Amino acid sequence: MDQYTLNLLVVGASFALYIGIAIWSRAGSTAEFYAANRGVHPVLNGMATAADWMSAASFISMAGLIAGVGYANSTYLMGWTGGYVLLALLLAPYLRKFGKYTVPQFIGDRFYSQGARLVAVICLIIISVTYVIGQMTGAGVAFSRFLEVEVSTGLWIASAVVFAYAVLGGMKGITYTQVAQYVVLIIAYTIPAIFISMQLTGNPLPWLGLFSTHTESGLPLLQKLDQVVTDLGFNAYTAQGSMLNMTLFTLSLMIGTAGLPHVIIRFFTVPKVSDARWSAGWALVFIALLYLTAPAVGAMARLNIIDTIFPNGPKAEAVLYEERPDWMKTWEVTGLLKFEDKNGDGRIQYYNDKAAGFTAQATERGWAGNELSINNDILVLANPEIAQLPGWVIGLIAAGGLAAALSTAAGLLLAISSSISHDLIKDWLVPGISEKNELMVARVAMAGAILVATLLGLHPPGFAAQTVALAFGLAAASIFPVLMMGIFSKRINSAGATIGMLVGLIVTCLYLFTYLGWFFIAGTNMLENVPANYLFGIPPAAFGPIGALLNFAAAYIVSMMTAAPPAHVQELVESIRVPRGAGQATGH
Amino acid sequence: MTDKSSNAYWAANIRVIYICLAIWAIVSYGFGILLRPMLSGIAVGGTDLGFWFAQQGSIVVFIALIFYYAMYMNKIDREFGVDEQ
């Protein structure tokens, strides 16, 4: 059986599993649809939350970004896990006590204002659509590879599948489907990592393999890696990064995590306030299973790629293009891996042609520039092929990547459509809307969001994980500060919160659009996206904490200048601070 | 519950949040990023301790922090009589 058929079979089987579970569990629980989490063991709920949370960015893209840069991209690892500490300590238990279903609802009630709720809906839509662009990018890469088509075709296929998947509806809400997706995703991620760790270090645990000895050279793996990358003019893998940028970017991802509407929602519906704290812990345990493996995947893949291109070490001749391995041929079809024979010697020279100190050596060896470009987003998916693992492992990783992208995309689309149909239309613009029409609006909103995300995904503002990181910056700047102030301060009033959110959102959006194009439309940026142009050297993706700071400051100043919130709101804040008396979560 | 014990409960909660967030910041922003050069003398499998904290160590500490907080809060919820019955 050829690889193409095998991929289709494995991916098809995983889809059949999700649909099967959805049908099986829906039969008995239609009435409890909205309370899908209730009665589910906290450990299973943690798995489901982990599947919801880990998207194409975590699965497909992150290890590739770490591989490309090394230590300096540890920010993704710390940032996307540390946010759960903030969630568990600062938000989840109190929002659960409040007992409603959507983030704009909490903001509307706590700040006793329809205007604040409306602004929250706008923030939610902008954050979620940006996030979906990243998912589409990742799913597009996965489809283009396993269907062996061009990447833009893969993107359209992904958009059709996401549409069918999200409109099938309920599937997203069923915890057991997500548990299945988590299981597929984590197996798909871990198995190739174990194989590769065994090959390179003899240690079956990739977490430890990263810090073990490289069998072939007898050196520690990371030292060996530092050596081969610097031999090709790249920065050492473990080299220091910019402290300011790393700190701000990590902070942006952490507070962004705690401000993402579709993540917060997970904690609204757990049975008890104390469960909200435990759930965050269990979710992080399951997330960590992937995140502790990811740095090993990145480092080992980087070593394997260089080893493929320079079979006798970077000091010797590179491989002939005619003799390149099959995985390169299949990825060339997608356009995500490109070879250009600049010096016409028929060999693939892969090195850092931007390093000033390396040009002399490159010229001496007759190299006329780097000849191979590898898109970071293909690395995890190509990893099993690079390591020459069995065909079923290659199919499995495609299935895992799609599970990650689809589960998160569906969750985001549901958050977008429900906030438009519910917060915007039903509770505000057209109060008397029929249930049928409300559903119609929800579907149209979903289709619209997919279309926008797909069009923008054709020329994405970055690799999947980078685009997703922008969504975190926006969430950090807009939603997180008002939620936190709403719980920890009784003095912040509706004017303060509304203006705070607007300031955080608008300033952050303007900063992003300046470098990445208006509404992320390629080519409309006012300044070139290079470090020399950045304000204080802060890259757009690391701007979230600055936006959050402005949000906090604006909300505080405006609140101090205007009247304190009414007594009933101050009592509401008192009541959400203690667990006792938490009822069931209600929709209205 | 009286106002007084309610204030004491909230103060106890804020205190433990401060402690946990201090540890949270030290392992990630401290050991993982800003203090890495200071820790570079401590070798861990071919690299240094700061690298390990940035790529794995901080994640392990985050998990421990959340479980500690959940257990601690369960305890004081009961002590102050504000737990869910």
Choosing among A277, A289, A290, which should be mutated to test the B contact, i.e. which has the most B CBs within 10 A?
A: A277
Number of H helices, E strands in chain A: 25, 2
In chain B, which residues have their Cβ closer than 8 Å to the Cβ of A575? none
Average pLDDT taken over every residue of chain A: 87
How many Å apart are CA A53 and CA A32, to the nearest integer? 23
Q: How far apart are CA A397 and CA A375, in angstroms?
A: 17
Measured between CA atoms, the residue of chain A closest to residue B73 is A274
User: What residues of chain B lie within 8 A of the CB of A577, using their CB?
Assistant: 6, 10, 13
Are A561 and A75 contacting, i.e. CB atoms less than 8 angstroms apart?
Answer: no
C-alpha distances in Å from residue B51, one per residue of A36, A160, A206, B46 = 41, 42, 16, 10
Q: Report yes or no for ipTM above 0.90.
A: yes
Interface test with A, best of B15, B28, B69 (most A CBs within 10 A): B28
- Interchain contact, B66 vs A220, CB within 8 Å: no
Write the pLDDT tens digit of every residue in A128-147. Answer: 988 888 888 888 888 888 88
- A588 vs A572: CA distance, rounded Å: 16
Q: A65, A211, A237: best mutation site toward chain B, by most B Cβ within 10 Å?
A: A211
Instruction: Please tell me which of A31-40, A45-54, A144-153, A194-203 the model is most confident about, judged by mean pLDDT.
Output: A194-203
Q: Outline where A365-434 has alpha helix (H).
A: 379-386, 391-418
Looking at the DSSP assignment, which residues form a beta bridge with residue B47? B44
Residue A308 makes CB contacts below 8 A (sequence gap 6+) with: A319, A325, A386
Beta carbons within 8 Å of A129's beta carbon, 6+ residues apart: A416, A449, A452, A453
B80 pLDDT more than 60? yes
Query: Are A507 and A551 within 8 A, CB to CB?
Result: no
pLDDT at A586: 53
pLDDT in tens, B11-65: 999 999 999 999 999 999 999 999 999 888 888 888 899 999 999 999 999 999 9
Ordered by where they begin, the domains of chain A are: 3-301+387-576 (1.20.1730.10)
Radius of gyration of the CA atoms of chain B, in A:
18
Residue A527, pLDDT score = 82
Yes or no, beta carbons of A247 and B48 under 8 Å apart: no
Q: How many CB pairs under 8 A join A and B?
A: 135
Interface of chain B toward chain A, CB-CB under 8 angstroms: 1, 6, 9-10, 13, 17, 20-21, 24, 28-29, 32-34, 36-37, 44-48, 51-52, 54-56, 58-60, 62-63, 65-67, 69-70, 73-74, 77, 81-85
CB A116 within 8 A of CB A105: no
The secondary structure of A395-410, three-state, reads HHHHHHHHHHHHHHHH
Q: Which of A33-42, A292-301, A328-337 has the highest mean pLDDT?
A: A292-301
Binned at pLDDT 50, 70 and 90, residue A178 comes out as confident
Of A217-221, A229-233, B80-84, least confident by mean pLDDT is B80-84
In this prediction, residue A33 carries a pLDDT of 40
Mean pLDDT confidence for A366-388: 88
Provide the pLDDT for residue A201: 93
Q: Could you tell me the pTM of the whole model?
A: 0.91
Residues of chain B found within 8 Å of residue A249, distances taken between Cβ atoms:
none
Q: Which of A96-100, A459-463, A554-558, B49-53 has the lowest mean pLDDT?
A: A459-463
Cβ <8 Å between A238 and B29: no
**Does residue A30 have a pLDDT over 70?**
no
Torsion region of A372: left, alpha or beta (phi above 0 gives left; psi -120 to 50 gives alpha): beta
Query: CB–CB of A281 and B66 under 8 A?
Result: yes
Q: Kindly tell me the burial class for residue A31, based on how many C-beta atoms sit within 10 Å of its own C-beta (0-12, 13-18, 19 or more).
A: exposed
Residues of B in contact with A582 (CB under 8 A): 84
Name residues whose C-beta falls within 8 Å of residue A433's C-beta, 6 or more positions apart in sequence.
A425, A426, A441
The chain B residue lying nearest A575, using CA atoms, is B6
Nearest to B33 among A210, A213, A243 (CB): A243
Tokens of A62: 């992150």
Closest-CA residue of B relative to A277 is B70
Contact across the interface for A210 and B55, Cβ inside 8 Å: yes
Structure tokens at A127: 């954050």
